[in-house]
């Protein structure tokens, strides 16, 4: 069993790289209507909260359509913009396979969609989290380069046994990242932008900390997989995020070896604090499950 919990090869019907046919003709009317319900719910809260690159990406790919998008169709548009495509997978896939897809500009997206009675509950990333949440940002050339660089970095982190540090970078940027804009803080992280409640909480609630992004700081900060984040990191721009990948991660991992983790409620010396949270939301919830 490898560290990511996968043992053995891909499931029956999947290729060696864990890709499967999306089966777009097989979606039911209910599944298409679930996509439209989720899409319209998000569009009631995202204008003025999601970053421009995300909103432009939604339009460029015409992602509302008549329901669950056909990956072939969106891949044609995406390829022309940034060289990325969307490939269907049955769910979470082994880390090394995941990183290889990203490094090759293929985004692995689950082809299943949540049931109508579980709109706000997400056991595993479904097609709405993956395609609505992640894919629009891949139309932005700088973010598209960042994601490919992340894939290359992931393979190296696996070799160095430092995946837990790199996974934090992914979590606090690709999944739960905020960015500065002329109009104030905006969301670019897929985990936030695909959640109706966290889209508001991450920007407007007094509970979480919001701290200027710092690579080493992020890699020392555990994250929650079970509830709203207690700390969000804010990048000044997409260009600054891409610059992060120019660092020598080997030297960084060495420096991290002696550094302790920073508690997710705490502020640390050197933090450029944007807002200090009171953490009342987290205090009212079950103890955090951290990674
Ligand atoms: N597989 N399909 C899929 N989607 C993910 O986001 C994903 C994955 N496997 C591994 C993984 N993410 C994370 O462990 C890495 O980001 C570290
Ligand atoms: Fe995700």
Model confidence at 1: pLDDT above 80? no
pLDDT band (50, 70, 90) for residue 289: confident
Give a yes or no: residue 63 inside a domain.
yes
| Distance from Cα 269 to the centre of ligand 2, integer Å | 30
Q: Give the pLDDT of residue 291.
A: 87
- In what helix (H) or strand (E) does residue 275 lie, and over which residues does it extend? strand 273-275
Say if residue 5's pLDDT is above 90: no
The residue segments making up the domain with residue 256 are 2-6+18-283
Asked whether residue 291 is assigned to any structural domain, the reply reads: no
Using CA atoms of 97, 103, 104, 106 in order, give the dihedral in degrees to the nearest 10.
70
Q: How far is it, in rounded angstroms, from Cα 114 to Cα 124? A: 9
- Assigned domain for 94 exists: yes
Residue 219 lies in a domain: yes
The helix (H) or strand (E) run that includes residue 168 is helix 163-170
Looking up tokens 């508001």, which residue turns up?
200
Indicate the SS3 state at residue 173: helix
- Residue 290 within a domain: no
Q: What is the pLDDT of residues 105-147, one digit of tens each?
A: 999 999 999 999 999 878 899 999 999 999 999 999 999 999 9
CATH number at residue 171: 1.10.800.10
Mutate which of 95, 96, 160, 166 to test ligand 1's pocket (most atoms within 8 Å of Cβ)? 95
Q: Which residues surround ligand 2, an ion (CB under 5 A)?
A: 125, 190
Mean pLDDT of 209-225: 96
For residue 97, what is the enclosing H or E element? helix 95-103
CA of 171, closest atom in ligand 1? 16
Report percent pLDDT > 70 for the chain. Answer: 100
**Residue 43: its pLDDT value, please?**
98
Q: Evaluate whether residue 288 is within a structural domain.
A: no
Quick check: 45 pLDDT over 70? yes
Q: How confident is the model at residue 290 (pLDDT cuts 50, 70, 90)?
A: confident
Residue 12 lies in a domain: no
Q: What is the pLDDT of residue 55?
A: 98
Counting the structural domains of the chain, the total is: 1
Per-residue pLDDT, averaged over 61-77, amounts to: 97
Give pLDDT tens digits for 157-180.
999 999 999 999 999 999 999 999
- Confirm whether 65 is domain-assigned: yes
């Amino acid at each position: 069993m490898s560290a990511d919990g996968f043992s053995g090869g891909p499931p029956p019907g999947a290729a060696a790289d864990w890709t499967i046919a999306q089966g777009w003709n097989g979606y039911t009317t209910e599944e298409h209507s679930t996509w439209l319900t989720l899409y319209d719910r998000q569009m009631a809260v995202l204008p003025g909260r999601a970053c421009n690159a995300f909103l432009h990406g939604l339009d460029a790919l015409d992602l509302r359509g008549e329901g669950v998008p056909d990956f072939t169709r969106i891949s044609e548009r995406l390829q022309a913009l940034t060289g990325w495509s969307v490939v269907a997978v049955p769910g979470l896939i082994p880390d090394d396979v995941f990183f290889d897809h990203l490094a090759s500009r293929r985004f692995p997206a689950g082809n299943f969609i949540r049931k109508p009675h579980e709109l706000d509950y997400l056991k595993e990333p479904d097609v709405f989290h993956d395609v609505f949440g992640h894919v629009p940002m891949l139309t932005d050339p700088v973010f598209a380069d960042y994601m490919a660089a992340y894939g290359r970095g992931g393979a190296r982190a696996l070799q160095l046994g430092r995946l837990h540090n790199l996974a934090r970078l992914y979590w606090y940027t690709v999944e739960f990242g905020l960015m500065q804009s002329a109009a104030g803080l905006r969301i670019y992280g897929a985990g936030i932008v695909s959640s109706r409640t966290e889209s508001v909480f991450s920007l407007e609630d007094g509970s979480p900390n919001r701290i200027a992004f710092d690579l080493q700081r992020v890699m020392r900060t555990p994250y929650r997989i079970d509830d709203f984040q207690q700390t969000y990191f804010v990048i000044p721009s997409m260009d600054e995020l891409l610059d992060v990948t120019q660092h020598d991660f080997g030297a960084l991992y060495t420096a991290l070896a002696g550094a302790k983790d920073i508690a997710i409620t705490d502020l640390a010396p050197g933090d450029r604090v944007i807002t200090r949270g009171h953490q009342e939301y987290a205090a009212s919830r079950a103890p955090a499950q951290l990674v």
